[in-house]
Amino acid sequence: MHVTLAYGRTGLDVTLPDTQAVTVIEPRYVPGLTEERAAISAALSSPLGSPPLVDLIRPRDTVAVVFSDLTRPMPNDRVLPVLLSTLAEAGVPPDHITLINALGTHRAQTQDELDQMLGPEVRAGHPALVAAGRGYPGR
């Protein structure tokens, strides 16, 4: 039996012996948001249990934004532009924002991977990226 697993961007082809009992479980389809950017903006302006982000930030503050590495299926390229726009509305200049790629013990991302993860809008306006992690702090 031939199966293509959802893995990476193109999938992973696996061939299993015909003698092996195989059950393929398909995920339930959940439609995406029709107005994704508006939904992200609404979450930042009306968060649960907290004042809006613009009320927590002062103009000229310095801000660190931590984003996950490529091992996590986080749509950084869609969330970060809205977040950075909200910070700009609050008066935070771009040179007061540091983007931190949270790696844990994973390898650093290549420039091409960062371009893909963050999108051109974020990469053009915020070139300073700091790799966090690079070791195990325990024991």
pLDDT on residue 139:
47
pLDDT on residue 136:
52
Cα 30 from chain centroid? Answer: 19
**Percentage of the chain with pLDDT > 90?**
50
Concatenate the DSSP letters of all residues of 118-133 into one string. HHHHHHHH---EEEE-
Give which of 109, 113, 115 is closest to 131, Cα–Cα.
109
Fold of the domain spanning 37-132:
Rossmann fold (3.40.50)
Is a pLDDT exceeding 70 seen at residue 134?
A: no
- From CA 136, how far away is CA 139, in angstroms rounded? 8
Residue ranges with strand state E in the chain: 2-5, 12-15, 63-68, 97-102, 129-132
Confidence of residue 109 (pLDDT cuts 50, 70, 90): confident
Across the range 99-123, mean pLDDT stands at 87
pTM comes to: 0.74
